[in-house]
C-alpha cells in the first residue's frame, strides 16, 4: 500500500539570515525544495505539501522557560546588535537578527505539526525541512539552535501516551534532545555522531546512557574522524536498528543532518549518499509512524541532495544518479559545479579507516554490554 507522506516547507524559511560570514545558510532549504521540484517529487500522488504555522508560546513552554522566550522576543524586535550570554544569544555562533523569534517558531511549529500529522492526520511520514535544532537547551541557544523543535514535538507525543524513538544521524551529538529525556524510559534517544573529544558540543560518549528510570535509554555511538560509509552502516546496523526494532516505538523521530558528508566544511566524517540512503531505506522498512526533521549541513548542495534523496525514499521513488538539467542550470549560475545526485560508496584511507574501525568497534561493544540487556531484555 502506498505511503501517505507530508512535506512541510515554507518560502519564509529563506527570508532571514544568520549573517554573511556565518556557516549556516538558510538558502539551503530553498535549494532542497528546488531539487525536489526538479525531480517532480512535490507532486507525487500520495504526498502533500504543507506550509508552516509558527509554534504557539504555550507549546514552547512545554520545554523552554519564560525568561528565555522573553529574551528571544525582545532581541528579535531590535535592529541593533544585542547579546546576553547567559542565554547563549548574540555571539558568533548564535547571532541575533530581526525576526529571529518568528523564524525559530516557524521551524518548531513545522515539527510539532509533523508529529500531529502522523498521529492524527492519517499520514505515515511527515518531513519538516526546517527542523532539527537539536542543540537548543531549556534556557540557552547553542550550536545555531534557538528552539528545540524535536523536544517540543516529542512532548506533544508524550502527552498522547506515545513511546518514542529519537534517532539523530547529524555529525554533531544531539545533546539538547538527550538532555531533555535523560531520565525517562518513554523516549529512547540514539545519536550516531562525530566524537565529542575534540568536536562540538563535546558530549555524546557511549558512557552517557541515561539516569534513573531512563538508564539505558540514551544511546551514543561516537565516530572517529574519517569514518566512512561502511563504518557508518555498521554503527547503524549493529546498534540503532536492533534497538529501534526491540523498543518498538509508537512514533519514530529522526534528525537527518547532512553534515556527515565527506565534503562538509565543518566536519571530519567521510559519509556519502550511499550510506545515508541505506539508513533511510532501512528506517522506511520498519513501517513505524515517522517524523523526520532536517538538521545540519554546511555545504548547500549536499543538503539539497540528501534531503531530496530522503524524501524520494519516503515515497518509494527511485531517483537517477544524475542531477536534473533544470537544477544544474540553477546551481551553475550560483557557482556550484555539481552534476551528480548519488555518490559511489566511499572508503577512507587505510590508516584513517583502521583507527575509525577500532573506535567504532569499542563503542559498539560497550553499548552491547551496558544498553542491550536493558532495551532488548525488556522489549526484545
What is the set of active-site residues?
Answer: 135
β-pairing, 164-168 vs 251-255, is parallel
Question: Shortest CA distance to 13 belongs to which of 111, 89, 94?
Answer: 111
Cell of 333: 549560475
**CA 180/CA 169 separation, integer angstroms:** 18
Provide the H-helix boundaries in the chain: 27-38, 57-60, 66-76, 100-119, 149-159, 175-180, 229-235, 241-247, 273-285, 300-314, 325-333, 350-370, 372-379
Q: How many contiguous H segments (helices) and E segments (strands) does the chain have?
A: 13, 8
Cα→Cα distances 181→37, 177, 213, Å: 37, 7, 10
Cβ count within 10 A of residue 342: 16
> Which residues, including other chains, have CB under 8 Å from residue 258's CB and lie 6 or more apart?
264, 276, 295, 296, 297, 302, 303, 305, 306, 307
Amino acid at each position: 500500500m502506498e505511503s501517505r507522506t507530508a512535506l512541510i516547507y515554507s518560502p519564509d524559511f529563506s527570508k532571514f539570515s544568520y549573517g554573511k560570514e556565518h556557516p549556516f545558510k538558510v538558502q539551503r532549504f530553498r535549494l532542497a525544495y528546488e531539487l525536489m521540484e526538479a525531480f517532480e517529487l512535490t507532486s507525487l500522488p500520495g504526498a502533500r505539501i504543507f506550509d508552516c504555522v509558527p509554534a504557539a508560546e504555550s507549546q514552547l513552554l512545554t520545554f523552554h522557560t519564560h525568561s528565555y522566550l522573553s529574551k528571544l522576543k525582545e532581541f528579535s524586535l531590535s535592529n541593533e546588535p544585542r547579546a546576553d550570554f547567559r542565554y547563549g544569544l548574540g555571539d558568533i555562533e548564535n547571532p541575533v537578527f530581526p525576526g529571529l523569534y518568528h523564524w525559530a517558531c516557524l521551524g518548531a511549529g513545522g515539527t510539532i505539526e509533523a508529529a500531529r500529522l502522523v498521529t492524527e492526520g492519517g499520514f505515515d511520514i511527515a518531513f519538516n525541512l526546517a527542523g532539527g535544532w537539536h542543540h537548543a537547551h531549556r534556557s540557552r541557544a547553542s550550536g545555531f539552535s534557538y528552539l528545540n523543535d524535536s523536544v517540543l514535538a516529542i512532548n506533544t507525543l508524550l502527552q498522547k501516551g506515545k513511546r518514542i524513538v529519537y534517532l539523530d544521524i547529524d555529525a554533531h551529538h544531539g545533546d539538547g534532545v538527550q538532555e531533555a529525556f535523560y531520565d525517562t524510559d518513554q523516549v529512547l534517544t540514539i545519536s550516531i555522531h562525530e566524537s565529542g573529544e575534540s568536536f562540538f558540543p563535546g558530549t555524546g560518549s557511549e558512557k552517557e546512557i541515561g539516569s534513573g528510570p531512563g538508564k539505558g535509554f540514551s544511546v551514543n555511538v561516537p565516530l572517529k574522524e574519517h569514518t566512512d560509509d561502511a563504518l557508518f552502516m555498521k554503527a547503524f546496523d549493529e546498534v540503532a536498528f536492533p534497538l529501534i526494532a526491540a523498543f518498538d516505538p509508537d512514533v519514530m523521530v529522526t534528525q537527518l543532518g547532512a553534515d556527515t558528508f565527506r565534503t562538509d566544511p565543518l566536519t571530519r566524517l567521510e559519509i556519502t549518499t550511499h550510506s545515508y540512503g541505506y539508513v533511510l531505506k532501512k528506517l522506511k522498512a520498519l513501517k513505524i509512524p515517522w517524523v523526520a526533521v532536517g538538521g545540519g549541513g554546511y555545504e548547500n548542495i549536499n543538503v539539497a541532495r540528501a534531503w531530496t534523496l530522503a524524501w524520494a525514499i519516503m515515497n518509494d521513488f527511485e531517483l537517477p544518479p544524475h542531477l536534473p538539467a533544470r537544477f544544474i542550470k540553477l546551481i551553475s549560475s550560483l557557482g556550484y559545479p555539481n552534476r551528480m545526485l548519488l555518490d559511489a560508496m566511499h572508503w577512507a584511507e587505510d590508516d584513517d579507516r583502521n583507527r575509525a574501525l577500532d573506535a567504532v568497534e569499542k563503542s559498539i561493544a560497550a553499548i552491547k554490554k551496558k544498553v542491550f540487556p536493558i532495551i532488548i531484555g525488556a522489549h526484545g
